[in-house]
Amino acid sequence: MKESIKRIAVFTSGGDAPGMNAAVRAVVRTASNYDLHVYGIFRGYQGLIEGDLKRLEKRDVGNIIHRGGTILKTARSMDFMTPEGRKKAFDNLKAYDIDACIAIGGNGTLTGANIFTEEYGIPFVGLPGTIDNDLAGTDFSIGFDTAVNTAIEAVDKIRDTAASHNRLFFIEVMGRHSGYIALYTAIGSGAGSVLIPEVNTSTDALIQQLKQSHIRKKQFSLVIVAEGNENGTAHEVAKRVQDELGDLYEAKVTTLGHLQRGGSPSSADRVLSSRLGHSAVMALIEGNHNVMVGISKGKVSFTPISKAILGQNKINKDLIEMAQILAI
């Protein structure tokens, strides 16, 4: 063990994601197994700037593995984007004698960690915590599986109404820059069409698809719309489609919104979070610093944070093709 790391801090930042608590639990318990002291920083970078830290011991993270949200709370900090904010953050880490940090969050969180280590040399390990699953260097991020399960459960219910009324439903799911939630939801719920930022499907092309499926005697249709797709919100797309196809289908819209961010983490997210949290502490102990811990082909992997924030987890194009074949 490197002598230098004795006290570490852990925090969650950006959008909450189911499984963050399981990751915090794994960090605290692994660290205490190796006699490291852990401090929890509340409200992410903002809490670090304001000195909102508390010692966390083994028992403090009991009874949280199954809970959604984050016991450490979270925030999107504007102050941390300023050099003055980061200086205060550094001063607080020094005041608590903290040697290294574990940051759990999405691209914004890891970008902050990257700038901070460059400026102050504090070792960081990042964990991908975002329902969007958009970080390079990991096949899956914490919260994605649960969010997809939640979305599929909702679409299953909407399907009942769509089928009973012969309606066309547009269901908007989250994913600012990524179609992962939308594509997995479409495949898992058997939806007919999906609009994602990674594939340019115009509204006109969608209208043609829907016309064709009506000719094939499809009585109802489900369209999954990723928040970040290029045609606009589900409401905007639905309006254009309704104007064209109003005599074939009645169009309805459901936006799932923050429903997708909450709830008890799935088994996959609990196991993933536990593995990543454990590996993050081991990485710090072994001197493997400034990396994001991810999962690649079933194995724990390490990617420099500077690289993870530049790339995007690419969608497998075969899956898009498969979704189209199965939805016929």
Region binding ligand F6P by CB under 6 A among candidate stretches 1-9, 55-63, 128-136, 272-280? 128-136
Region binding ligand F6P by CB under 6 A among candidate stretches 30-38, 172-180, 276-284, 292-300? 172-180
Catalytic residue among 16, 132, 145, 269: 132
- Give the chain's count of helices (H) and strands (E): 11, 11
Give the residue with the Cβ less far from ligand F6P, 132 or 269.
Answer: 132
Give the residue with the Cβ less far from ligand F6P, 18 or 123.
Answer: 18
Residue 164: how many other CB atoms lie within 10 Å = 9
Q: Which SS3 state, helix, strand or coil, does residue 114 take?
A: helix
Q: Is 312 in the site for ligand F6P (CB under 6 A)?
A: no
Residues binding ligand F6P: number (CB under 6 A): 10
Q: Which SS3 state, helix, strand or coil, does residue 38 take?
A: strand
Which residue from 70, 92, 130, 189 is in contact with ligand F6P, where contact means CB under 6 A? 130
Amino acid at 179: G
Q: State the binding string over 15-54 for ligand F6P (x if CB under 6 A, else -).
A: x---------------------------------------
Q: In the numeric block, which tokens belong to residue 268?
A: 């996959």
Amino acid at 223: V
Q: In the numeric block, which tokens belong to residue 116?
A: 């901070």
Q: Is 73 in the site for ligand F6P (CB under 6 A)?
A: no
Which residue from 176, 214, 218, 240 is in contact with ligand F6P, where contact means CB under 6 A? 176
- Among left, alpha and beta (phi > 0; psi -120 to 50; other), residue 290 is left
- Among left, alpha and beta (phi > 0; psi -120 to 50; other), residue 182 is alpha
Q: Is 106 in the site for ligand F6P (CB under 6 A)?
A: yes
Q: Is 131 in the site for ligand F6P (CB under 6 A)?
A: yes
Which residue from 22, 100, 152, 174 is in contact with ligand F6P, where contact means CB under 6 A? 174
| Residue 173 beta carbon to ligand F6P: minimum distance, rounded to whole angstroms | 8
Give the residue with the Cβ less far from ligand F6P, 182 or 210.
Answer: 182
Does residue 132 carry a catalytic annotation?
Answer: yes
Residue nearest to ligand F6P (CB): 174
HSE value, Cβ hemisphere, 13 Å, CA-based, for 19: 30
Cβ-proximal residues to 239 (8 Å cutoff; 6+ apart), any chain: 251
Region binding ligand F6P by CB under 6 A among candidate stretches 91-99, 126-134, 185-193, 300-308? 126-134
Instruction: Say how far apart CA 110 and CA 178 lie, in whole Å.
Output: 17
Instruction: Say how far apart CA 16 and CA 35 lie, in whole Å.
Output: 29
- The interface with ligand F6P within residues 249-288 (CB under 6 A) comprises 261
Q: Which SS3 state, helix, strand or coil, does residue 297 take?
A: coil
Cβ-proximal residues to 173 (8 Å cutoff; 6+ apart), any chain: 151, 181, 182, 185, 224, 225, 226, 227, 256, 260
Enumerate binding residues for ligand F6P (CB under 6 A). Answer: 15, 106, 130-132, 174-176, 227, 261
Just list the catalytic residues: 132
